[in-house]
Amino acid sequence: MAASTIDSTLFRDQFSTPAMRAVFDDKMTVQKWLDVEAALARAEASLGIIPDQAAKDITRAADVGQYDLDAMRDEMARTSHPIVPLVRAMAKACEKLGAKEAGEFVHWGATTQDIMDTGLVLQMKDGLDLLLDALGVLDANLEKLARDHRDTLMAGRTHGQQALPITFGYKAAVWLDEVRRHVARLQDMVPRVLVGQFSGAVGTYAAIGEQGPEVMRRMMADLGLTAPVICWHVAKDRPADFACNLALVAGTMGKIAHEVATLQRTELAELEEPHQPGKVGSSTMPQKRNPSICEGIQSIARLAWACVPPAFEGMVAEHERDKVANQGERDFIPRLCCYTEAAVRKVAHVTGGLSVRTGNMRKNLDMTGGLLLSEAVMMTLGQKIGRNTAHDVVYEAAMEAFEKDLVFRDLLLKDSRVTAVMSAADLDGILDPARYTGLSAEMVDAVLNA
């Protein structure tokens, strides 16, 4: 039995994707540490701090395929330290390459957190690339839904009740606009959050001296990361910023999935997630077509949100170094990336194969006998008899229609206050839902053209 659903052979693809798991697996974690050590050596060699050949040899040794991860794990347990075993293993790797002297320059002037923080940021960078790719697929799907259903009538609902007519394209455009805000947030946070680390034991460059900041700048340019102005060993707002932005994305995925699942209910049947032959809704009720994908997405969204509190806990870090926060980040950041990207991929799958049942949308529009056009009637009637009076007239008819199961239109036409200023033909025109979608279509166009 796997300790985590993400690692489970049976369940992992319900909670993550192979690509995102690969970003955070043990081989990639060690590879990122090696990449950081090699970039550090190259930066120092470029400034004459260590020999140029040593940097070249360290770079040759920075390949995870040369290392025994089981042996490294055992050494981590023996030393109670994550990076000392790596540094020693790199020195041995250099020796095997015939460059024993180079091993003495591995990790020159660095501290453990420099390597581990920067390595994790590199993984966050790769994870963010996967997430943005997934959001791009979702963007295209939502754009198509918005365009294709720009004028598809359906009931708009508030508080779970039919409210006014809208178009399904309008609903999809609301989702699309929200997704695009997330993309903007994620892109905006890149220079602020994907920031590397190198400054030594307490962050003062004491081991390197005046060349320290330039080493750091060159090292980060090599790795494709932003260089910080000052050490952030205990300034944990960046991981919290990252966590919050990913949790926001997960929240929208949960919202979209919830909406699809709600509109898939038998009594509504306006939308349905993709259904392929062989998909089973129940072990005992053969007729069931459950929104199982959307239910899973909602669960994943909640798991993603649960990764945020540890990020805030980590902000309360002590003095110039505090391992507590770092330990937490190694757990919640990979899980958060896995959950969030999986949720986006699954929503992209749902929206890419979504069944839009326009006939049921129209049928549901008519099920209240025109009650959802009560505002339209009130506003038109209000021009003749005053808005407040019109509200009372329409309210009385609407409540009687609802409570006695009568026809709203017939009750209005029995009221002399209505017939005195409005003909049956006028009323029928007002009760046409296609004429009361407001600027739904125009707002779809605005989102598509933004």
Q: End-to-end distance of the chain based on CA atoms, in angstroms? A: 49
CB contact set of 24 (below 8 Å; sequence gap of 6+): 123, 127, 334, 337, 338
Which residues are known to be catalytic?
159, 282
Closest to 185 in 3D by CA, of 141, 226, 143, 243: 243
β-strands 271-272, 161-167 pairing: unpaired
Return the DSSP state at 67: S
Q: Is the dihedral of CA 82, 83, 87, 90 positive or negative?
A: positive
For residue 4, CA distances in Å to 9, 18, 196, 291, 301 come to 10, 15, 29, 24, 16
Give the number of other CB atoms < 10 A from CB of residue 275. 16
Q: Is-contact 6 12, C-beta < 8 A?
A: yes
Which of 223, 248, 230, 386 shows the shortest CA–CA distance to 304? Answer: 248
Q: Cα–Cα distance between 181 and 139 in angstroms, integer?
A: 11
Which residue type does 154 have?
A: M
Tokens of 245: 């932005």
SS3 of 8, please? coil
Greatest distance between any 2 Cα atoms in the chain: 102
DSSP label of 167: E
